[in-house]
Amino acid sequence: MRNLPTTTAHVMVHRQSFADKCLDGEVTAGGFEWNFRWSFDRGELTIEPSLGRALIEDALMRFLIKADYHLEPGGDYIFTVRAQF
């Protein structure tokens, strides 16, 4: 069986606000770097800049939903994307 290509993504959480119901941070993967805001009450994810956004958007959303209650400001996290960027 052939191994699928993967890329490791690194997430850093900068700010978490239960009053604003959002999480702000940065994600890097495959030489790309994005800033994101996750409005967890609406399930809305905003990623900037737009260059390469389609590469990370779905995988980041899945990670955020799965790791939701474990994420803390100042925390560094990693997850694997099943694609090679």
Q: Does residue 3 sit within a domain?
A: no
Q: What is the pLDDT of residue 83?
A: 84
* Cβ atoms 6, 80 nearer than 8 A: yes
Q: How many CA atoms lie within 13 A of 19 on its CB side?
A: 1
pLDDT beyond 60 at 1: no
Q: Does residue 9 sit within a domain?
A: no
Tally of structural domains, the chain: 1
Residues 85 and 70: their CA atoms lie apart, in Å, by 27
The per-residue pLDDT for range 25-80, each reduced to its tens digit, is 999 999 999 999 999 999 999 999 999 899 999 999 999 999 988 999 999 999 99
Q: Name residue, tokens 């890097």.
A: 28
Q: Does residue 23 sit within a domain?
A: yes
Domain containing residue 52: 14-71
Q: Does residue 61 sit within a domain?
A: yes
pTM of the predicted protein model: 0.89
